[in-house]
Amino acid sequence: MRFEGIYTPIITPFLEDGAIDWDSYAEVIEWQIENGVAGVIVGGSTGEFYAMSKQERIQQFKFAAERINGRVEFMAGVNDIRVDECLAITAAARDAGAQSLLVAAPPYSLPSEAELASHVLKIADTSGLSIMLYNYPGRTGVEMGEAFMTAVAKNPLITGIKESSGDYSRLPYLVRNFPEVELVVGGEEQVLEFAAWGAKAWVCASANIFPLECVQFMNIVGKQSDFERGKRLMEAFMPLMGVLEQGGSFIQCIKFGYELQGRSAGIARPPMLSMAEEQMQQMEQIINITRTTVNAIIDEKP
């Protein structure tokens, strides 16, 4: 088992002038480690990599590697619209000390499956690191389909896939046809379905708000296979998951939820705008109810 537990794609706190708040970023990392996550993902979309310069992204890798210091896995998101930049960022992540990579299709260009496979295998050759694929056609415009998976699955560096297509039929398909590539939870509202098909790891944006609770949730359904309690936990989490996945302000909601824990997340970089007051009030109510309900279920004796 290569991937097990919670891998948190961490937020990037920004100051009001848009600069990275490094002191707060260090606190983001520490809080995740303190609460028992298996890995920290630096440079994911939840971290707003798309709004950063190449230099900022590389600086983040170096900073995070020093802070993590081998205590949990350091995974780097290395996606970029330009392939040469993607490969340069990949090399920088490797040199900084990343242990694994999160790799999606380059956005906008719409490569064929053969072209996408060639791209991913170049990243593998460049890095020599374990790769978790990220299938999210809603953002990239292309799916990691059968031809792509057949081309990359035999490479020993291709070790997992964060499946975020929302297509439930992909879960048994991947498990049956590509067992060498571990299935990883990629939809916040689909944890139970993934666990039923053997997923032991969850790339979990919600862990920016509830790290300990998400770690415990994944233990209950992943390690213990306690699906009865898992159903109740999923029901308790669903209002939050619904706001995150369908609310249209994903980054802002995650950052606001983090700030409700008494921490500093700062602004979201443009083009994202601040949340409306009504939306913040709704989020605060949902988070408070979720925390109370989830912890009551977790605290029950199995």
**Residues 6 or more apart in contact with residue 19 via CB below 8 angstroms:** none
Has 50 been annotated as catalytic? no
266: DSSP letter: B
> Residues 253, 107, 2, CA angle at the centre, nearest 5°?
75
**Residues 6 or more apart in contact with residue 292 via CB below 8 angstroms:** none
Q: Which helix (H) or strand (E) holds 138?
A: helix 137-140
Q: Which amino acid is at 207?
A: A
Distance separating alpha carbons of residues 231 and 16, to the nearest angstrom: 41
Distance separating alpha carbons of residues 64 and 58, to the nearest angstrom: 10
Q: What is the DSSP string of 147-165?
A: HHHHHHTTSTTEEEEEE-S
Give rounded-to-5 percent helix, strand, coil for the chain.
50, 15, 35
Catalytic residue among 25, 134, 136, 258: 134
Please report, to the nearest 10 degrees, the dihedral formed by the alpha carbons of residues 164, 249, 286, 163 taken in order.
0
Kindly report the backbone phi and psi dihedral angles of residue 201, in degrees, each rounded to the nearest multiple of 5, phi listed first.
-125, 155
Distance separating alpha carbons of residues 242 and 264, to the nearest angstrom: 24
Has 162 been annotated as catalytic? yes
Distance separating alpha carbons of residues 86 and 223, to the nearest angstrom: 35
Catalytic residue among 162, 200, 255, 258: 162
Helix (H, G, I), strand (E, B), or coil: what is residue 221?
helix
Please report, to the nearest 10 degrees, the dihedral formed by the alpha carbons of residues 13, 266, 7, 215 taken in order.
140
Task: Give the catalytic positions in this structure.
Answer: 134, 162
